[in-house]
Structure 1
Amino acid sequence: PRDDARWRPFYGPLSASSQRQAMVIVNVMFAWLVQAGYLAGNPLSLSRQRARRARPRIVRYLSPELWLEVKTYIQGMPVQTAREREHHARVRWLFTLLYLGGLRITEVGTNTMGRFFRRGDENGTDRWWLEVMGKGGKERLVPATAEMMTELGTYRRARGLPALPSPGEDTPLVLPVGRSLKPLTRAALHRIVKDVFNGAAQSLRARGEDHAQRADRLEQASAHWLRHSAGSHMADQQVDLRLVRDNLGHASLTTTSQYLHVDDDRRHRETDEKHRIDW
């Protein structure tokens, strides 16, 4: 814990990714000094180490099989007491936002239910959307699918609220257990997600050593893995990459294309079945 005297984040060398991030930050600071007229030039502008080749694909995601394990664990959470029922409803809604909406954990904490709105399409059909203020202050429209709106209504009713939010309503997207209407911090939301992943991992371990590797992977997962999982699963289902890009708020298709992969086991199986020499 950060309040522990033994917490020493800078003990030992920085990892390569941390070094690159530090160089990016220092470069931005130098660039600002140039723009402010304090320096004649940026000494880091000639550095070749700032460039970083993108990884060929996203690897921190949940396969459909692991995602099913997480959903099954959530469905089996205790609901005997009022507090347990409220927590269960909150967990289910939080994972809905992170997966169906592809939201970042900070976006869950900083946006409100009043950002849901209904708009008619060219055929006169009303469709729900969620306007998200995201990374870098950029706004994007996330499709609020019928499934998402059903889950929203279920969660709101569990909290004693009307099924649909009113325009401009300042109710946080996810609420604390109890009567408080204050938004949860990023750390609190992160802890909820990690607790679920750890619980699902323990359930896997209880089935035997054959499931230990999958349990290890679940224990490594974080909230951002759900966003990567959303992108990966949409790409696997052949959703147009331009649509995936806009749903997740990516700046370019280059970022989105990293989700173009299938599970390695499935890749091996289909290669074995369909790529043959047949001598």
Structure 2
Amino acid sequence: MKNDKILSAYETWLLASSRSDGTIKLRMRHVRALARRLPLALARERQLQEVLGDCRHLSTETRHSMLASWRLFYGWAVTKRFIMADPTAELESIPVPVRMPRVARDRDILMALQGSAPRDRGLVMLGRYACLRLTEISTLHMRDRDGDLLRVLGKGNKERIVYVNDDLAHALTRIELEQPRGFYFPGGTDGHMHPQSVHKIIKRLTGWNPHALRHAGATAAYRATGDLRAVQDMLGHASLLTTQRYLHLDDAARRAAAAGTIIRPPSSLAA
């Protein structure tokens, strides 16, 4: 079967799924790149290994994502009987090293909020106080707010409830009073502001990317509650393991953990 025909059928299947537009574009980009190298229906494990070997100049994260895209494609192709065997079945996984998350410093956030315009305050506070993703910030609409409650449409078109604290609620109210009802952050001509524009504004104001604000907010939320499940729900993560990677342990927490290992003698022995 020619690559064009199988790619068209696969894209139709992806579009009918609950995956986000960004995920669909990424998966299709990886499979199309492979199709430029090989006939997809005839590819063998050794050939895929060679392609991965040729991509060693790319980051581990990128190669891990490529392989995930291939596995998804070939799993679908076997199920739909476009091919008989999955050439990715025996390929070794590409482990991604776990790195310490970058966490925005509170003092940088506070300095950014001082004297900022209502729009800019809203952008920063939604990232740090509500822990929203970049796209979630840029697409937030005034109809999504009901008092201290936000209905957020996240990855995979999954809706979740995020409650806002008093400071953030005040910032959103200021925006609502200053502009017509619609997106909190409208674009230059129509619709909402582009996520990359939001990224540039937050980075300029705080010195940190929006994801670092999300990490900082998640860490603060867990430190205040000790409730990992509640933080998971706030962030919109499918897995607690993902949420755990968002949490940053400061030196005080590490010292407290070390102090907790001390064996203290019973009072009778101490006497």
Pair in the same fold by TM > 0.5: yes
Deviates more, 1:128-137 or 1:254-263: 254-263
Matched, 1:175 2:224: no
Task: Tell me how far 1:25 sits from its aligned partner.
Answer: 1.4
Partner of 1:16: 60
Partner of 2:77: 33
Matches of 1:255 and 1:44, distance apart in 2: 25
Partner of 2:225: 238
Matches of 1:110 and 1:12, distance apart in 2: 36
Matched, 1:197 2:201: no
Matched, 1:145 2:187: no
Task: Tell me how far 1:45 sits from its aligned partner.
Answer: 2.2
* Higher-helix-fraction structure: 2
5+ residue gaps, structure 2, are 1-54, 265-271
Q: Deviation per CA, 1:230-279: give whole Å up to 9, x if none.
A: 11111122341111111111112222223454213x2466578887799x
Q: Deviation per CA, 1:151-203: give whole Å up to 9, x if none.
A: 1111222x244xxxxxxx6x1132357xx5531011111111121134xxxxx
Report 1:1-279 matches (<5 A).
Answer: 13-50=57-94, 52=95, 55=98, 58-62=100-104, 66-77=105-116, 88-117=117-146, 128-157=148-177, 159-161=178-180, 171-176=182-187, 182-198=191-207, 221-264=208-251, 266-267=252-253, 270=256
Please report the TM-score for the alignment, with normalisation by the length of structure 1.
0.65
- Counterparts in 2 of 1:267 and 1:245: CA distance versus 1, 3 Å: closer
Higher radius of gyration, 1 or 2 = 2
Question: Is the Cα contact below 8 Å between 1:236 and 1:261 reproduced in 2?
Answer: no
Please report the TM-score for the alignment, with normalisation by the length of structure 2.
0.67
RMSD between aligned alpha carbons? 3.0
- Counterparts in 2 of 1:20 and 1:184: CA distance versus 1, 3 Å: same
Matches of 1:173 and 1:148, distance apart in 2: 13
Question: Is the Cα contact below 8 Å between 1:60 and 1:228 reproduced in 2?
Answer: yes
Q: Which fold has the larger relative contact order, with Cα–Cα distance below 8 Å and residues 6 or more apart in sequence?
A: 1
Question: Is the Cα contact below 8 Å between 2:152 and 2:159 reproduced in 1?
Answer: yes
- Counterparts in 2 of 1:76 and 1:272: CA distance versus 1, 3 Å: farther
5+ residue gaps, structure 1, are 1-10, 78-87, 119-127, 162-168, 199-220
Q: Percent identity among equivalent residues? A: 27
- Counterparts in 2 of 1:272 and 1:49: CA distance versus 1, 3 Å: closer
Matches of 2:131 and 2:205, distance apart in 1: 18
Task: Tell me how far 1:93 sits from its aligned partner.
Answer: 0.5
Aligned length: 211
3-state SS of the aligned residue for 2:229? helix
Instruction: Return the letter of the residue paired with 1:151.
Output: A
Matches of 2:80 and 2:258, distance apart in 1: 60
